[in-house]
Amino acid sequence: MNYDFNDKEFNLFVEIHTRISEFANGKDLESYDTKNSEKNTRLALALLSETPYLKLGIEKIEDYNGLLTLMGAMEVIAGISPSLFLSVETSTRIFGRILSTWGSDFQKEKLLPALLGGKIIGAVGLSEDAMNVDNDPLKTTATADGDQVKISGRKQYVINAPLADWIAVAGQMDGKNAVFLVEKGSPGLTIGEKTATLGYEGVAICSISLANCVIASNQVIFPKNDKAMLNTLKLWENQILIGASLGLMKKAFESAKNYSKKHKTGGKPIIAYQEVGFKLSQMLTLFQTSQLFAYRAAWTADADPKEVESLTLCAKVFCTESAEQVAGDAMKILGGAGFLSGNPVEEAYRYAKYGQIAGTSTEISRVKIGDAALGMNK
């Protein structure tokens, strides 16, 4: 297991950091305004398309170590703008992987070049009654009608829905799990109002409803192993949330470290006080341990796919819960300055909770990890 990045990978991280930092300068990427979110997401996708970033995890690129490289790159963007990161990754790494992994040649030729070229935005409709779909079957269904398909159902917590050119909707057809590629403006598709959230205000999240929504039959995807479809979608989502947690920890730690060097009390910088040093050392330990856990899970996804689900769940539990702890300790170091709305530490503290409830929740993850340890899911 080699988690070292080569010079080409390191240079990619530097390039991405430079591009996104310059792009973010002077912009409010955490704005609640949907039009602002769409503008920023489209501009960022176009900017990232000039690098190999959008293709990581979708196409094999020489000299890049697949998902391991992607995890390192995700940490960079998430550390600059968590909201922009979540919008970009939902479009590219979930919608894009649905196409590249399960899509037909026709679907790939029609959508993948534009997606990887940063010209369109994708969304994924998965959650229904609750954010987790682990215990309930999909209620969204479709029926064939000649060379068309009619879809009925409702999806909640759909990231990018108000911005998306295409939405991949998970449901059932002919008794099998399927994904329906629904284009913006399709008859019967209704996009709800943007949802007010605890964090990630810059992400456009809303519900969608499909009332006999009509699409062409060639816009339906039947994964080869339809029974594993939901687990695979959750795996991809969990990988993104791990990357988001690394970015949040990095932002919170760096903010606390810089503040402790500059802010003085009792005539000296607060970093001179042992308790502050202890907190910073604990934060750094959690952050670096989370990095190693995340990198191992990413490396395993390519090297040993049979072991990836349980290991990714372990990494998600550790990284998302560590993100909340690191952000909480950072807020203690900043004191009143950290409690003020709009600073990086306050944002990280609020945003960290989403990673624990989205994807496979940390509670359900623990159940699945236990089952795997006992060999109950073989």
Looking at residue 219, what is its pLDDT?
98
Structure token digits, residue 189: 């598709």
The residue out of 92, 116, 140 marking a domain boundary is 116
- Residue 2: pLDDT over 70: no
Structural domains of the chain, count: 3
Q: Are residues 266 and 321 in the same domain?
A: yes
Which class for 42: exposed (0-12), middle (13-18), buried (19 or more C-beta within 10 A)? middle
Going by DSSP bridges, is the β-strand pair 166-173/122-125 parallel, antiparallel, or unpaired? parallel
Structure token digits, residue 5: 């990045």
Residue 210 placed within a domain: yes
Rounded to whole angstroms, the Cα distance separating 216 from 253 reads 49
Q: How confident is the model at residue 227 (pLDDT cuts 50, 70, 90)?
A: confident
- Residue 306: pLDDT over 90: no
The residue out of 195, 226, 257 marking a domain boundary is 226
Residue 85 placed within a domain: yes
Residue 166 placed within a domain: yes
> Looking at residue 361, which CATH number applies to its domain?
1.20.140.10
Rounded to whole angstroms, the Cα distance separating 39 from 28 reads 11
The whole domain housing 250 covers: 227-373
Q: How many residues does the chain have?
A: 378
Rounded to whole angstroms, the Cα distance separating 348 from 178 reads 35
- Tell me the pLDDT tens digit for each residue of 102-141: 999 999 999 999 999 999 999 999 999 888 777 777 999 9
Q: Are residues 220 and 232 in the same domain?
A: no
Q: Are residues 73 and 141 in the same domain?
A: no
The residue out of 159, 194, 226 marking a domain boundary is 226
Distances (CA, A) of 173 to 86, 96, 293: 29, 22, 38
Residue 1 placed within a domain: no
- Tell me the pLDDT tens digit for each residue of 233-279: 999 999 999 999 999 999 999 999 999 999 999 999 999 999 999 99
Residue 2 placed within a domain: no
Q: What global pTM score does this model have?
A: 0.96
> Looking at residue 96, which CATH number applies to its domain?
1.10.540
Q: Are residues 127 and 100 in the same domain?
A: no
- Tell me the pLDDT tens digit for each residue of 153-180: 999 999 999 999 999 999 999 999 999 9
Rounded to whole angstroms, the Cα distance separating 347 from 112 reads 33
Residue 170 placed within a domain: yes
Q: Are residues 231 and 220 in the same domain?
A: no
Looking at residue 378, what is its pLDDT?
58
Q: Are residues 356 and 344 in the same domain?
A: yes
Residue 346 placed within a domain: yes
Residue 378 placed within a domain: no
Q: What is the dihedral of CA 318, 320, 326, 330, to 10 degrees?
A: 180
Q: Are residues 106 and 128 in the same domain?
A: no
Rounded to whole angstroms, the Cα distance separating 366 from 301 reads 19
Q: How confident is the model at residue 359 (pLDDT cuts 50, 70, 90)?
A: very high
Q: How confident is the model at residue 377 (pLDDT cuts 50, 70, 90)?
A: low
